[in-house]
């Protein structure tokens, strides 16, 4: 039974400057909901309410977001806005959230290592704090279901265009079903001609406690950081790892163009925005270029 989740959220958000100079990228809103709230909600929807967020300097607003704000609650109650009050209380009560700081930014692997005491000898889920995955069945639940059958490390992967493999950690191995691969190779951001497949790690993992010993032995890799992918490569020497091709669409909020696309797509899914927003987009597209300048 998987009961704990770890959300690394200590990065600087350099690709999103200047917006992230004074606020965490994980708190950037997709319409009216911070990115990290979507990630926490995925945990909750998958039956996990014990969550450790790995934060860092300048990330206090994440803690504040999931904490109670009695003054704000009182103001909302005075306005008799029960819908908004219920939303606020849901955020505050949605999970048992713990925080620990990654005092030096030494990579994703180092961030995960900070969860060692919290997770102990239990398997756990890792969800990247700047990645939303929209799916009918939460991706974390998809991973849990697979773990319950195979009892080994499971990596969520997605199919990406071959010319974009240089952006991701890539898996290689033997397909044992349409959606499941027995992994025998992991490469962090490979050159196109060295990529073993076009199955990219999608920001979700179920890791076993053995990952912590592997992380202790993992030297610094790309970017002079401790890479989680490199630690999993060490695990492959004596443990099995599987890759599950997820059902769902991944949104990387760490860069501006994908953030814009995500906002548009999520707005079109919202009942109160879909019709007028679609009309607004059509009006812009139909305007002659000269009028748009």
With 90 as the cut, is the pLDDT of residue 50 above it?
yes
First vs last C-alpha separation in the chain: 57
Distance CA 178, CA 285 (A): 39
With 60 as the cut, is the pLDDT of residue 290 above it?
no
**Residues 64-122 pLDDT 10s:** 999 988 999 899 988 888 999 999 999 999 999 999 998 888 889 999 999 999 999 99
Q: What is the CATH number of the domain that holds 199?
A: 3.90.550.10
Pairing of strands 96-101, 50-55: parallel
Structural domain includes residue 43:
yes
Cis peptide before 18 (omega within 30 of 0): yes
pTM of the model: 0.91
Burial (CB < 10 A; 0-12, 13-18, 19+), residue 277, is middle
Distance CA 227, CA 188 (A): 8
Structural domain includes residue 200:
yes
Residue-level pLDDT at 292? 56
| Arithmetic mean of pLDDT, 38-50 | 96
C-beta of residue 274 within 8 angstroms of C-beta of residue 267: yes
Structural domain includes residue 281:
no
Residue 58 Rama label (left phi>0; alpha psi -120 to 50; beta): left
Query: How many domains does the structure of the chain reveal?
Result: 1
Structural domain includes residue 293:
no
Structural domain includes residue 259:
no
Residue-level pLDDT at 253? 82
Structural domain includes residue 113:
yes
**Residue with structure tokens 């889920």?**
125
Structural domain includes residue 272:
no
Residue-level pLDDT at 57? 85
Which helix (H) or strand (E) covers residue 96, if one does? strand 96-101
Is residue 293 classed as helix, strand or coil in its secondary structure?
coil
Helices (H) and strands (E) in the chain, counts: 12, 13
With 80 as the cut, is the pLDDT of residue 221 above it?
no
Structural domain includes residue 141:
yes
Largest CA distance in the chain: 63
Give the helix ranges, DSSP H, for the chain: 35-45, 60-66, 70-78, 82-93, 108-113, 116-119, 139-150, 210-217, 228-235, 256-269, 271-286, 289-292
List the domain range (segments joined by +) for residue 95: 4-254
């Amino acid at each position: 039974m998987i009961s704990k989740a770890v959300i690394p959220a200590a990065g600087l958000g350099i690709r999103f400057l200047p917006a992230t100079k004074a606020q965490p990228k994980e708190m950037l809103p997709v319409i009216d909901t911070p990115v990290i709230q979507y990630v926490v909600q995925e945990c909750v929807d998958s039956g996990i309410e014990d969550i450790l967020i790995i934060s860092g300097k300048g990330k206090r607003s994440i803690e504040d977001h999931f904490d109670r704000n009695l003054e704000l609650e009182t103001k909302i109650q005075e306005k008799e806005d029960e819908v908004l009050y219920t939303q606020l209380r849901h955020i505050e009560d949605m999970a048992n959230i713990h925080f620990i700081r990654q005092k030096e930014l030494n990579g994703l692997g180092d961030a995960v290592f900070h969860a060692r005491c919290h997770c102990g000898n239990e398997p756990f889920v890792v969800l990247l704090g700047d990645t939303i995955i929209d799916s009918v069945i939460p991706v974390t639940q998809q991973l849990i279901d697979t773990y319950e059958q195979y009892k080994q490390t499971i990596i969520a992967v997605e199919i990406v265009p071959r010319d974009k493999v240089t952006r991701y950690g890539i898996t290689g191995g033997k397909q044992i079903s349409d959606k499941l691969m027995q992994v025998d190779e992991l490469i962090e951001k490979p050159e196109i001609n060295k990529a073993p497949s076009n199955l990219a790690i999608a920001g979700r993992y179920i890791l076993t406690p053995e990952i912590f010993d592997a992380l202790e032995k993992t030297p610094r890799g790309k970017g002079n950081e401790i890479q989680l992918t490199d630690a999993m490569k060490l695990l492959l020497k004596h443990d099995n790892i599987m890759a599950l091709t997820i059902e769902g669409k991944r949104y990387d909020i760490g860069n501006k163009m994908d953030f814009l696309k995500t906002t548009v797509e999520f707005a079109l899914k919202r009942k109160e925005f879909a019709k007028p927003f679609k009309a607004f987009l059509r009006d812009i597209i139909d305007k002659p270029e000269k009028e748009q300048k």
